[in-house]
Structure 1
Amino acid sequence: MTAAAFRYIDRASYDPNATEPFKKALGQIEDLRGQESHYTTDNSGFALYNSPAKETAFTDDAEVRSGYYAEVEELLRKKLPGVKKVAIFDHTIRRRTPGSARSPVQLVHVDQTPRAAEARVRRHLPEDEVEELLKGRYQIINVWRPIENPASDFPLALIDWRSIAPSDFVKVDLLYPKEWRENGEVAPDSESMFSTEGYEVKGETYAIAPNEGHRFFYAKDMTPEEVMFIKCFDSRSHTMTEGKTDIAHGSGHTAFIDPQTPAGSPGRQSIEVRCLVFYE
């Protein structure tokens, strides 16, 4: 067990035109170690597995796409019964190292709203397959793995879906900078921290509002030989018209500063592969 200050959406000051309408709230984080089998993508929205990868460096984007993507698809088919099709649409590598373009995200969120998930299907699947695929069950799952060293620094925390209230979800635009430099994004030139100047809308996501009932979990010192399935959407979840009450939509998640991290621990490095998963 550890504790942290989590960065949440602040309903009281939320403005769709703001980039920093956030607040911090303290929370406890339970270690998944020893109880992994009790938490699945169906009931909690996340699942931890031991699954060493052939790819270990993750420095060549072409090799990640040609080799590691196949490993991820094989793992999804192995762990999730009934999968008929997997479409991997992108990945992000985060390194908390000097000069890195992508650092760990400290904001409690769920990556996809229902509208955004459907848009992903329409964007990434052949047009002649889309309508039939949308009739069946489909999910968006991020397959998250530490790179090079254990994720002791800025570890990943996840909320058990069953502890999130419907009122905790706030739809927000997913913003990306209009310009990028080699070592990172170009920050908006603005006098106000609340300005969206310099960004453009690339989708829709759920930010999460604070709730004392949230149950956070993490895998302490998660290693590169392990992966976390993070569900971001499920067309059969109870949030959907024909969904089931016992199926999670997804898991709110965030990076956090763990006060128990030993001094001198190497900066966190990780890869998350985003996958559309379709079922029979």
Structure 2
Amino acid sequence: MAIITDDTIESTARTTLATLNYLLPGGPSINRRFVSAGVELNTGRYGPYPVTIRDGRAIRSHFTLARHGFTLLDAPTSITDFHDRAEVEAKYQDEVCEHVRQALGADLVFAQGWMLRSSSGERVAAHKAAEAASNKDEEGEGKKPYRHYGGLQPAAGEVHVDTEPSRQLAAAERLYARARPEGGPGFKRFVMSSFWRAFSPPPQDCPLAVCDARSVGDEEGTPNVLWVVDRVPETEEERLAEMDDAGQLAASIFEYREGHRWWYFSGMERGEVLLFKFHDSRPEERGGWRTPHTAFWDGSFEGARERESIECRTIAFWE
């Protein structure tokens, strides 16, 4: 009897060629990501690398969070219009938490916010203009600071993980205190993850690619400090000026490695979700403890449509 291995199963997958933006060596020593309404700008320099991306659609049951760091779930939603902010705010995060709790078997899941993304530059620009106009007072000044939550941003443009390992225990402790304001028994494990849903019709022109966590070394990744701002600094001198980076959240950004193994699921339907890990605190789960990811332009299908998606970040606790 022939032995069926991962390589045997995965060799049957359809492939497509694409370019992914990795961090280029030799750039600035300070890596920061400035985020404001409709715009995200990095100080690091990124370059396109040609890669093979495998389509996991036909073998979707092969992928698990524990081994690969990602999985495709059937996750129906009651949301009728993802552009209706009030509807999403009222119902979606509770839905997400329940789906994640069931998928991971955790005791407690806490939502960290949601964001819409679109591959359409025109749609993002129009949303940015509308947000700016609604935030102006009579003198034309902004009435409230930008909050990176519940808006519309462009598709992710570079290979990254939304967390940086050395900062995650402290972040988990803060979030657990918020989730259990009256106190709790404490936690022995936590998993930070993304719950990613494309809600525009398939096929989408700019889907999300995820990297098999087993193909990424534990030592890989460079901190990229997050600054949520009302206005992105206009000059490189401003962007690289002295700032208190130590007190900020950070992501991890990655340089190209030939061994990275990339996957996506073509033609995602509205009732499907890509669930993938940002950080798993349990050492024995290191086989799939974090998942680099990025959007890419997929030329596989004629008549591909604008990609619209919603992501919701959660943290799951085992108490």
TM-score range, shorter chain: 0.7 to 0.9
**Residue 123 of structure 1: aligned partner:** 174
SS at match of 1:162: helix
CA distance in 1, matches of 2:167, 2:279: 9
| 2:17 matches 1:3 | yes
- Change in Cα spacing, 1:165 to 1:121, as seen in structure 2 (3 Å) is closer
1:167-182 equivalent positions in 2, closer than 5 A: 167-176=219-228, 178-179=229-230
| 2:299 matches 1:259 | yes
**Residue 109 of structure 2: aligned partner:** 86
CA distance in 1, matches of 2:250, 2:194: 16
| 2:87 matches 1:63 | yes
**Residue 202 of structure 2: aligned partner:** 150
Amino acid at match of 2:234: D
Amino acid at match of 2:312: V
- Change in Cα spacing, 1:115 to 1:129, as seen in structure 2 (3 Å) is farther
Deviation at 1:132, TM superposition (A): 5.0
CA distance in 2, matches of 1:194, 1:22: 19
Deviations 1:65-123 (A, max 9, x none): 32111211221122222x11011011111123324141101110111123332343233
| 2:153 matches 1:113 | no
| 2:289 matches 1:249 | yes
SS at match of 1:188: coil
Contact kept, 8 Å, 1:93 with 1:269, in 2: the verdict is yes
Amino acid at match of 1:224: R
**Residue 277 of structure 1: aligned partner:** 316
Query: What is the count of residue pairs matched by the alignment?
Result: 263
TM-score after normalising by structure 1: 0.84
CA distance in 2, matches of 1:84, 1:109: 28
SS at match of 1:117: helix
SS at match of 1:244: helix
CA distance in 1, matches of 2:73, 2:209: 16
Contact kept, 8 Å, 1:15 with 1:21, in 2: the verdict is no
1:160-199 equivalent positions in 2, closer than 5 A: 160-176=212-228, 178-179=229-230, 186-190=231-235, 192=236, 195-196=239-240
Deviations 1:169-209 (A, max 9, x none): 11221233x21xxxxxx44322x499447x99641111011
Amino acid at match of 2:293: H
Amino acid at match of 1:125: Y
Amino acid at match of 2:161: V
- Change in Cα spacing, 1:194 to 1:28, as seen in structure 2 (3 Å) is farther
Contact kept, 8 Å, 1:230 with 1:251, in 2: the verdict is yes
1:45-64 equivalent positions in 2, closer than 5 A: 45-64=69-88
**Residue 182 of structure 1: aligned partner:** none
User: Which structure shows the bigger proportion of residues in helix conformation?
Assistant: 2
Deviation at 1:61, TM superposition (A): 2.6
SS at match of 1:230: strand
| 2:154 matches 1:103 | yes
| 2:100 matches 1:76 | yes
- Change in Cα spacing, 1:130 to 1:251, as seen in structure 2 (3 Å) is farther
Percent of aligned pairs sharing the same letter: 28
**Residue 133 of structure 2: aligned partner:** none
Contact kept, 8 Å, 1:174 with 1:205, in 2: the verdict is yes
CA distance in 1, matches of 2:215, 2:155: 24
Deviation at 1:35, TM superposition (A): 1.6
CA distance in 2, matches of 1:123, 1:96: 33
Structure 1: gaps spanning 5 or more residues: 180-185, 237-242
Deviations 1:116-154 (A, max 9, x none): 323432333327678953x41100011000123236211
SS at match of 1:77: helix
Structure 2: gaps spanning 5 or more residues: 1-14, 33-42, 129-152
TM-score after normalising by structure 2: 0.74
Contact kept, 8 Å, 2:200 with 2:306, in 1: the verdict is no
Contact kept, 8 Å, 1:10 with 1:21, in 2: the verdict is yes
Q: Which moved more, 1:142-151 or 1:227-236?
A: 142-151
